[in-house]
Amino acid sequence: MSVIFLAVLFAAVATFSGARLLIGPASGAAGDQLARISSNSSGGIVAEEGSSVGDRLIRPLSGWLVSHLARLLPARVAHHFEEQLAVAGRPVSLQTFLAFMVAGPIAGLALAGEFVLSSPPSSPGMAILEFGGGIFLGGALPVYWLSGKVRRRQVRIGRELPDAVDLIVVSVEAGLSLEAALSRVGDDPRHLIAAEFRRVLADMNLGMGRRAALQGLMARTGVPAMTSLVSAILQADQTGMGIAQVLRSQSTQLRDQRKQRAEEAAMKAPLKMLFPLIFFIFPSLFVVILGPAVISIMDNLTK
């Protein structure tokens, strides 16, 4: 009965969390306040008639469930995953991710219970090991998914950064300011790094200083090359060095690092090709080459 209860609880968590992802994240405090003001001004009749079932039932229930599940984790863990989500580009909200962090072990426990009931283990220790493995896998899957998002985004930013810095160098040497050069890079919507530079310019327009905005860029990306670039720009601002000279040296260094990464990947390619060759290609070659010889030898031996 307890396993069935856990399975039903996990189904409810997955359903409401998935509905929250499909419907969209809840609005912020300002949006909620505006929604309350508009609903009060219209008497609540228009909002009730025009809203869907998801707006009236699923979204409030899922928001309540997600918020309560998120409170089960320590604040330090929540802060760590908040930083990781920022580096990953915020694919989901923090509350939704924490809800999946809590729902994952519940799902693993339910699946392990189902497996234990279907095929009883030989000893209690094996049952405990299966339950522990289910809980561990259920909690590790969201973390693995988030780390993959972070890694892929950092790799993409690292690939786009040398070309973006080259464009910034050309713009600065042509007489533009650093902000105008960042705006030139941010005009290209195809690149992921353009959105980050637009975020820097938006922070500056809202009154944030250049140092704080660039430090925010460094924290959001987590790429070592970006950290080196931002540190060099901030040091140039402090010492009064020419920004064009600093950016030129950083551009040369980034191109050299990209070349070294390409050479390193080329050197790893033969080792990565070794296992497919041994397990997939060589057996087929042996069958094609030695097959007729083996058949002829067997025919001669049977005569």
Identify the pLDDT of residue 19.
42
For residue 189, is pLDDT > 60? Answer: yes
With respect to residue 171, please indicate whether it lies within any of the assigned structural domains. Answer: yes
Please check whether residues 115 and 172 belong to one and the same domain.
no
Using 50, 70 and 90 to split pLDDT, how confident is the model at 113? confident
Identify the pLDDT of residue 54.
56
CB 72 within 8 A of CB 139: no
Please check whether residues 114 and 12 belong to one and the same domain.
yes
Please check whether residues 162 and 55 belong to one and the same domain.
no
Domain stop point among 120, 147, 177? 120
- Provide the CATH number for the domain around residue 188: 1.20.81
Q: What is the pLDDT of residues 247-264, one digit of tens each?
A: 999 989 999 988 998 899
Give the residue with greater pLDDT, 8 vs 270. 270
Domain stop point among 98, 120, 142? 120
Q: What is the pLDDT of residues 10-66, one digit of tens each?
A: 554 554 445 444 444 443 443 344 344 344 444 443 444 445 655 666 667 666 766
Please check whether residues 86 and 177 belong to one and the same domain.
no
Identify the pLDDT of residue 151.
92
d(CA 193, CA 156): 8
With respect to residue 125, please indicate whether it lies within any of the assigned structural domains. Answer: no
Helix, strand, coil % over all residues of the chain, rounded to 5: 85, 0, 15
CB 191 within 8 A of CB 157: no
Expressed as residue numbers, the domain containing 220 is: 156-258
Average pLDDT, integer, range 184-204 = 88
Identify the pLDDT of residue 202.
92
Please check whether residues 114 and 160 belong to one and the same domain.
no
With respect to residue 267, please indicate whether it lies within any of the assigned structural domains. Answer: no
The secondary element (H helix, E strand) that includes residue 84 is helix 75-87
With respect to residue 51, please indicate whether it lies within any of the assigned structural domains. Answer: yes
- Please give the full DSSP string across 8-37, using - where no structure is assigned: HHHHHHHHHHHHHHHH-PPP-HHHHHHHHH
For residue 295, is pLDDT > 50? Answer: yes
d(CA 193, CA 80): 23
Percentage of the chain lying above the pLDDT 70 cut: 76
Please give the biggest Cα pair distance in the chain.
101
Please check whether residues 107 and 175 belong to one and the same domain.
no
For residue 193, give the nearest of 234, 146, 225 by alpha carbon.
Answer: 225
The secondary element (H helix, E strand) that includes residue 252 is helix 243-276
With respect to residue 301, please indicate whether it lies within any of the assigned structural domains. Answer: no
With respect to residue 17, please indicate whether it lies within any of the assigned structural domains. Answer: yes
CB 131 within 8 A of CB 17: no
Identify the pLDDT of residue 52.
64
d(CA 209, CA 201): 10
**How far from 303 is each of 290, 296, 299, 300, CA to CA, in Å?**
20, 11, 6, 5
Please check whether residues 97 and 12 belong to one and the same domain.
yes
For residue 82, is pLDDT > 80? Answer: yes
Identify the pLDDT of residue 200.
92
With respect to residue 203, please indicate whether it lies within any of the assigned structural domains. Answer: yes
Using 50, 70 and 90 to split pLDDT, how confident is the model at 201? very high
Beta strands in the chain (DSSP E): none
CA dihedral 238, 243, 248, 250 (to 10 degrees): 30
For residue 96, is pLDDT > 50? Answer: yes
With respect to residue 80, please indicate whether it lies within any of the assigned structural domains. Answer: yes
Average pLDDT, integer, range 153-165 = 90
Q: What is the pLDDT of the chain when averaged over all its residues?
A: 77
Percentage of the chain lying above the pLDDT 90 cut: 11
Both tokens of residue 203? 């922070």
CB 236 within 8 A of CB 246: yes
Identify the pLDDT of residue 66.
63
Domain stop point among 120, 146, 180? 120
Identify the pLDDT of residue 72.
65
Residue 190 in 3-state DSSP? coil
Identify the pLDDT of residue 16.
45
Both tokens of residue 28? 């912020």
Tally of domains within the chain: 2
Both tokens of residue 146? 């988030």
